[in-house]
Amino acid sequence: MGLHIVTPLLASTAFPARPGARVWLKMEALQPSGSFKLRGIGHACEVHAARGARRIVASSGGNAGLAAAYAGRRLGLPTLVVVPETTSARARSLLAREGAEVRVHGLSFQEANAHAHGVLGAQDAFVHPFDDPLLWEGHAGMIDEVAQAGVRPDAVVLAVGGGGLLSGVVAGLRRQGWNAVPVFAVETVGADSYAQSLAAGERIELPAIASIATSLGARKVSEHAFGLARTHPVTPFVVGDGEAVAACLRFMDDHRVVVEPACGAALALAYRQDGPLAAFSNVLVIVCGGATATVAQLQAWDAQLR
Binding residues for ligand PLP, per CB under 6 A?
35, 37, 63, 130, 159-166, 215-216, 218, 260, 262-263, 288-290
Distances (CA, A) of 21 to 113, 254, 278: 45, 18, 9
Nearer to ligand PLP, 56 or 160 (CB): 160
Nearer to ligand PLP, 163 or 242 (CB): 163
Nearer to ligand PLP, 98 or 260 (CB): 260
Nearer to ligand PLP, 17 or 131 (CB): 131
Backbone angles phi, psi at 43, to 5 degrees: -65, -45
The least CB distance from residue 202 to ligand PLP, in Å, is 19
Distances (CA, A) of 200 to 195, 196, 206, 224: 9, 6, 12, 16
The least CB distance from residue 149 to ligand PLP, in Å, is 22
Q: Identify the burial level of 41 via C-beta atoms within 10 angstroms of its C-beta, where 0-12 means exposed, 13-18 middle and 19 or more buried.
A: buried
Nearer to ligand PLP, 84 or 161 (CB): 161
Helix axes 164-175, 37-50, angle to 10 degrees: 80
The least CB distance from residue 144 to ligand PLP, in Å, is 18
Q: Which residues, at least 6 apart from 219, have a Cβ–Cβ distance to it below 8 Å?
A: 193, 205, 206, 207, 208, 209
The least CB distance from residue 170 to ligand PLP, in Å, is 12
